[in-house]
Structures are given as structure tokens and as C-alpha cells.
Amino acid sequence: MIGKKPGLGPDNNEATSTIGENSVLEGTFEVTGNLRVDGKFTGKLRVTETLVVGKNGLVDAKVTARNAVIAGTIKGDLNSSEKITLQSGSRLEGEMVTSRLVIEEGDSFQGSCNTSQTTGGARKTDNTFNQD
């Protein structure tokens, strides 16, 4: 199921596109606004606002978004211009690039992370991080 539903956005009343739990999509997907993934997406994904990956969601893609809130799984690079939140039970395999990073207890991260408050002073960390 793909659709637009009001009220599913992270912190606003803006309409959100959704990829439902039993849906599988492949290709290049560009979303103006927010996107919630509860199914599976493979390919390349660009979201102008916030990407939310639900607990059962799987994104196997190169992802660009303003913000990302991950409760499920991302396999691939995640580039966020503002903030990435890895919620408890989430899994990320790949490179993260963001200004702000929030990691809750009980998630799994394997890859590298590049964080910076400004565009000039990036800090890069390469390691495997498993928090249980």
C-alpha cells in the first residue's frame, strides 16, 4: 500500500506518504514531505522532510532525507542534513552522515558515521557498534 495519510508525520500535521507493512517497492523514489516505511524498499530514496522506518520496515537503499527516525532496518548509506535518530531495536548497516545523531540503548550500528555541527568541522568515526 502506498498512500498519503494525515497525522502520520513525525511532529507536524503535514500529509505523509506511506509504504505499508505488506508492500515491496524497488527503484528510485522521491518524496516531497514525510515518508513512513513499514514494508520493504530497495533502491534509491530521497525524502525532503522526515523518513520514518517502522519496527517492521526494511530499507535497502542509498537514502537522503532532512531527518530520519529509524526503528526498523536500513542497509545502505544514510545522509541526513539535520538529525538521525536510531531507536531501540533498530539496525543500520552503512555510512551515516548527519549534523546531529541520537542513538538509543539497544540498537545495532555497523559502519561509519560522519557528524558535524557545521559543514567545515566534520568528525568521522569508523567502527562497529553493537549496543545491547
pTM for this entry: 0.79
State mean pLDDT over 6-11. Answer: 45
Using alpha carbons, list the distances in angstroms from residue 129 to 4, 63, 75, 126.
35, 20, 15, 9
Look at residue 127 in the predicted model and tell me its pLDDT: 42
Q: Closest by alpha carbon to 83, among 61, 51, 46?
A: 51
Which of 28-32, 96-100, 109-113 is predicted with the least confidence, judged by mean pLDDT? 109-113
**How do beta strands 91-98 and 78-86 pair?**
parallel
| Span 14-59, pLDDT tens digits | 558 999 999 999 999 999 999 999 999 999 999 999 999 999 999 9
Mean of per-residue pLDDT scores for the chain: 83
Beta-bridged to residue 130, according to DSSP, are 108
Whether residue 12 has pLDDT greater than 80: no
Higher pLDDT, 131 or 104: 104
